[in-house]
Amino acid sequence: MYLELLSEARSLMEKAVAGAGYSSPDMYLGESAHADVSSALPFRLGKELKKNPAQIAKEIVSKMGTSEHIGKVDAAGPYVNFYANEKYLAESLGDILKKGRSSVLLPPKGVKVVLEHTSANPTGPLHVGRGRNPVIGDTLARVMRSGGYDVQVQYYVDDMGKQEATIVWGYDHLDSLSLKPPEIEKPDHAIVEVYRAATDLRKSNEAVEKEISEILNKYEHMDPEVSEKFKKMVNTCMDGQKTTLARMNVFYDLFVWESGFVKNGSVNEIVERLAKTPYAERKDGALALNLSSFGMDKDFVLTRADGTSLYTTRDIAYHIWKLSNCDEAVNVLGEDQKLAMQRLDATLKILGEKKTPRIVFYSFVSLPEGRMSTRKGVVVNLDDLLDEAVARAYIEVDKRRKDLPEDKKRKIADLVGIGAIRFDIIRVAPEKSITFKWEQALDFEKQGAPFIQYSHARTCSILEKAKPGSFDATVLKEKEEAALIKKMAMLPYVVDVASKDLKPHLLANYARELAESFNQFYRFVPVLSAEPELREARLALVDAARITLANALDLLGIAAPEEM
């Protein structure tokens, strides 16, 4: 109900500001460490009017009216502070218990969003360095759906690059590579072995390089035999990648193959349109765009000298199609793609497109040894990181719960290990770098997902001992009780802000704070041993905490175990 509280504060503020003789299109309302809602408008007006902001705040408060859920308003320096009343607390608690898991769903906005994320090359397993992409993308999709957006999640399959042609050639020439048919269980791990061997040979053998280019040319012209080979290799690798992603609780609505835009003529049409613009230049047979007027020095190459298209050209076709099928497009991309997106944005404008995608850029994940890279050194596969996380989680679970049967310990370890990876990735703002640390990710005490999961399990344990019945919320007078209710009531607000601003890390911060608030309540306020009337009300509060913790974890794509 925090959104309703904000709305009431805004209404009161607008009337009081006008009554005090001031005007502003924005009331500058938001969270505060010192009140339930706070306005910084007096500070803004003070700077604008060269007047004491504290005096402005007092004048505004003197004109303040009353509302249903705000019990007190005061001026504190240049701020106007609003405080919720008991009715707000009681109704917030009742609302969560009545709506249950749907208490986090905001009304539909009528906005269709296409969210593209991960879209890794089908040349091998996903690796740790880019592990943020699926976690950021999936969390954003969950948050935006909860925020009322109609979201379709897409994976753009790069099936036409020279890398894929290298794999097709490699599987046709296993003998030349001194390779046997790979017998590795996971198909994406098998394919990367062929890719590496074929790439090494390609670099030192011009004849092989030529054969691979010919294969790529045939695929672009939809040679049936070559097309079937590409399809088989791409699907084989994608099956392995999908297994990894599903293990992380990441799923997609639509896989869009880039070759489709060559088949349907979209790429040729775009090349022809761009060739007629004043930005087009021919260099050694290749078509390029001169984007110097957009502040870019290097030309944007669209086709090879032999006329075959490049990834960039097909990406333009994909974006035009994507933007025509939604109200808003969101891309999750590594920070190394900033220049590519600037070029795409400029090209879309040249083509007269009105919309461009919103981009969430992320910095890469590092292990303590150094930054992960697709092009330098040895990379750590995401599968290996997940295996290690589950193994380490099992040690912690086994240490704490010797009483559990082995299968249950294994199941909990899987939920905890995968959750630890997701949370440690999403807790940091995407644009900030991450160095992955096991002691932090698997922290059961305060920092990691296990702490939040354990808090949920604790609520379930309490409710196993006693089920809540009818209760009177007005008996909940302790400050820890009020703090917990207020924190729970804020989840829809956090969803609203995170979905509008594309900031999924806000959910991680909220979930940790919610778990801290619940544990603070449980530490200082007796539940099962309380007097009957208090016991019933506090059991209801625990049940609401269970619902809200489960909702927060679900938005993060993390399991909410009932036992740990």
Domain boundaries, the chain: 2-84, 117-371, 382-555
**Pairwise CA distance, residues 179 & 40, whole Å:** 68
pTM of the prediction? 0.92
The token duo for 144 is 């935006």
Structure confidence at residue 181 (pLDDT): 63
Contact status, residue 497 vs residue 490, Cβ threshold 8 Å = no
Structure confidence at residue 309 (pLDDT): 86
102: phi then psi, degrees, rounded to nearest 5? -85, 0
What is the radius of gyration, based on Cα positions, of the chain? 28
Contact status, residue 166 vs residue 212, Cβ threshold 8 Å = yes
User: Measured between alpha carbons, how far is residue 329 from residues 111, 143, 171, 502 in Å?
Assistant: 11, 15, 37, 12
Instruction: Tell me the CATH architecture of domain 117-371.
Output: 3-Layer(aba) Sandwich (3.40)
**Pairwise CA distance, residues 510 & 136, whole Å:** 16
Structure confidence at residue 232 (pLDDT): 94
The token duo for 185 is 């269980």
Name the CATH topology of 382-555.
Isoleucyl-tRNA Synthetase; Domain 1 (1.10.730)
Contact status, residue 469 vs residue 543, Cβ threshold 8 Å = no
- Strands laid side by side in the 300-301 sheet: 280-283, 286-289, 300-301
Report the mean per-residue pLDDT for the chain.
93
**Pairwise CA distance, residues 350 & 345, whole Å:** 9
Contact status, residue 310 vs residue 340, Cβ threshold 8 Å = no
CATH superfamily of 2-84: Arginyl tRNA synthetase N-terminal domain (3.30.1360.70)
329: phi then psi, degrees, rounded to nearest 5? -115, 140
Buried b / exposed e over 254-264, threshold 16 CB at 10 Å, is: eebbbbbbbee
Per-residue pLDDT of the chain (564 residues; tens, 9 = 90+): 999 999 999 999 999 999 999 999 999 999 998 999 999 999 999 999 999 999 999 999 999 999 999 999 999 999 999 999 999 999 999 999 999 999 999 999 999 999 999 999 999 999 888 889 999 999 999 999 999 999 999 999 999 889 999 999 998 998 777 766 666 678 999 899 899 889 998 988 999 999 999 999 999 888 999 999 999 999 999 999 999 999 999 999 999 999 999 999 999 999 999 999 999 999 888 999 999 999 998 899 999 888 888 999 999 999 999 999 999 999 999 999 999 999 999 999 999 999 999 999 999 887 765 444 444 445 688 998 899 899 989 999 999 999 999 999 999 999 999 999 999 999 999 999 888 777 777 776 767 899 999 999 999 999 999 988 999 999 999 999 999 999 999 999 999 999 999 999 999 999 999 999 999 999 999 999 999 999 999 999 999 999 999 999 999 999 999 998
Closest listed residue to residue 462, CA positions, set 562, 344, 341? 562
Indicate if the alpha-carbon torsion angle 461, 467, 472, 475 is positive or negative: negative
The token duo for 135 is 């976690």
| Terminal C-alpha separation, the chain | 31
Contact status, residue 484 vs residue 517, Cβ threshold 8 Å = yes
**Pairwise CA distance, residues 557 & 555, whole Å:** 5
